[in-house]
Structure 1
Amino acid sequence: MKYTPLPKELYERNRRKLAAKLSKNSVAVFNSNDNMPTNADGTMRFRQNNDLFYLCGIDQEETILLIAPDCPNPNMREVLFLRETNEHIAIWEGHKYTKEEAEAACGIKNIQWVDQFDQVFNTVMALSENVYLNTNEHLRAGVVVETRDARFIKSCKERYPLHQYHRLAPIMHELRGAKEQEEIDQLQIACDITEKGFRRILQFVKPGVWEYEIEAEFLHEFVRNRSNGFAYEPIIASGPSACVLHYIENNRACKDGNLLLMDLAAEYGNYNADMTRTIPVSGRFTARQRAVYDAVLRVQKEAMNMLRPGVTIQEYHKEVGLIMQSELLGLGLLDQTAIKNQNPDWPAYKKYFMHGTSHHLGLDVHDVGTMYGPITPGMVFTVEPGIYIPEEGMGIRLENNIVVQENGYFDLMRNIPIEADEIEELMNS
């Protein structure tokens, strides 16, 4: 692997947190993700199931994790099942974990080959009453293929119909929502790599450069710093394309006088940064561009201060909307009549700022975590207000990643240039 793995003590701690949430006499099972096909005999790059990774750090296909904290046989309270390698696999696919390497990585003593799973699981199930199984329950998930988890749920319920079945997802959302320090450190590396890419393109962007050339510059910098690449499909949107929230074609030339919105970031060790910056293609903001830019930046700064323990995301988004409303009034984009006549379910400000300001960040770019419960210290959020004015061919979004602390926040992107004056200075140096 390219990245430096996190210490096994993190995964041991995470498993203890999970065990404390399970009912008496329970067993929990986590499956790795599938190798996903493309066409013919092609497959996509493997990406581990994040819940399994959170609990053991094993970044390999065909892995199963079994946790049964109350099992009378201490040897079966934690069992990790791995794909057994051989000479053929080693030649065609490369090295796979040995049992000794897996134990060193995750701290689990009982490592078995995956073909032993049914035998071990049958024994543990005979000694258990409750079964916890995993599914993707992200509020915005659109699952259209049958996952390894889904197949396992079917087979498990067919073989063991009289056990009590429970959902792991709510527990994992709670646990993964607040990050341990080791996770924050990994996110910081992803943000630092993202910074290197951004500083590189500030010297590269000029009128006539194509969006895909900018994408290539970022990718070069990310990979050379031990990232697997982009944390998500990069948005590199010049001119009016910046008003398309999920513009990913990246196929336009950057023109003099346009703004360039870039929503992209690096991943590192399966943890993801999430940055947006908007810069002037020519190296200088016009007066109108600067006014809108500064308005977005003011909203971002105020929003960062509002993300604090005890607040809910729903309350926070409403308050940020009022701040944005004031800025849009100042820019002449809204007037009091529009506000007076607005639909409470779709306030007037949403004409120019139609998305949320923040989401959880971590192993997933839109990470799991509470959307209705109170924010707690250790949660990591994006803060990304924007103003989009199609009639002016202008879209501006600014996004940083912050860690909520007991008394304030810590900005993981504090070193990435964001002030308009600094952007212009770096582009013209």
Structure 2
Amino acid sequence: MRSEFIPLEVLAKKENSIRAKKYTSETEFTWLTLNKGEQKSLNFDTYSDQRQEQTLQLSQLGNEEGVKYTFFANVAIKAEGYTQLAGFHENATLTDGIYQFIEPEEKGNSIFGQDYTKTFQNTDGSYQQISFSVQLKQAELIASLDDFAVFEVTYHFIPQTSQDTANWPELEKELVDRKTYKVFRGVAEAPVPEFSAGDVLFGLSPLYSSVQLADGSSFKIINAPITVDSETSGHFSIKNPLSGEESTYDITFSNLGDTLEFTIGIETRNVRYVKLYDNRIATVDDFYSSKKQSSYSYANLAQADTTYNATQEDYMKTFYVNDLNLLNNNKHAVIEPHDNGTAIVYSGGIFGPNGRWQFEQDNSMSFVLPCSPNQAISNCINNSERINVINYKLFKKEKAGYWFLRSHSNQNKNADGAIVQSVTQSIQFLKLCDVVCIYKNTSR
């Protein structure tokens, strides 16, 4: 058997002592003991999750009373065997040492996955199943040390339909305040790094941008590598495995001291550089810097040594994607190549192969789906109106999983009957399943 897919905070609480893992690198950690209430001040303005991800959510926090701050993270919600990760982006005001959420949102099934559902007996003897949404109320800093901060978060369940608790004797017990805990790590400012021709950059990605390529297809930039050509210019390179064509797209950039300005097409953006808790360097889109207390903010991985010489054996494992929406619906996105050339790709609970794979000359692996076991990969690509080719190039191995350069080529037919293609390039961290990987689609 293997551990839970849902990555709960590694945190143990006993009386007033709190034990947590303090990561010193991406894979190494020491145990840290904090005493509740012993230190209750923040040493950083910006905090992030302590998770291995290509993109981390940032919270803007502080110690000043009456000031509005922003929490942007996920917390673990539990109740009678029910477990979910509830994402929240809440404005909060620090009042008497408590961060009170301002007009907190209800976290319902439509966005955050499975609802907490329970059957209750009415005073008339009938039974009814009632579903609840999660609402976060407040957060209190209960322990801190150096860049480490632990918050006690108060939340409660709200019936999704109006209910009179007098008619449901057990209902009131479900509406009480509950506690969960959130571990944050401080994020430090870092200087814009110097770079020269031949260097590879990450983290320069206008959100939601889509570059049109010469063959009529599109290239979506999430966190694709940029090759530096000079002090002021660089380029993206992208190969579409569906058409076989390779394209480049030029960018320009300028070091402004505190920020790096870059232009892709007609879009110009600035990024700041930060150092994460495990010494990784990341970028923060400066588009948000003037609205820190009311806008989402992300840190994107900005450094990666892509020189690892992978072998086919490196890929012959079972990986899963740490995706919040999938986890919260008890589905697991799995990438699993089989020895016979078939593969399970982003199964989401589908048992059995739905694609095929091949090892490429550049030591990457391509997955093609849908592609049945009795079909050749070339036939699937050339004779299908709807096809996906997902290429993974391994560049770093960790104990918990591997870092990949991911290129996803998609071909589809639009409403007019025309065949359209797109390519999305990004970094992705895939978790390794330990011993036996169980993936399933269950419902409550």
* Pairwise same-fold verdict (TM > 0.5): no
- TM-score (norm. length: structure 2): 0.27
Judging by fraction of residues, say which structure has more helix: 1
Judging by fraction of residues, say which structure has more strand: 2
- TM-score (norm. length: structure 1): 0.27
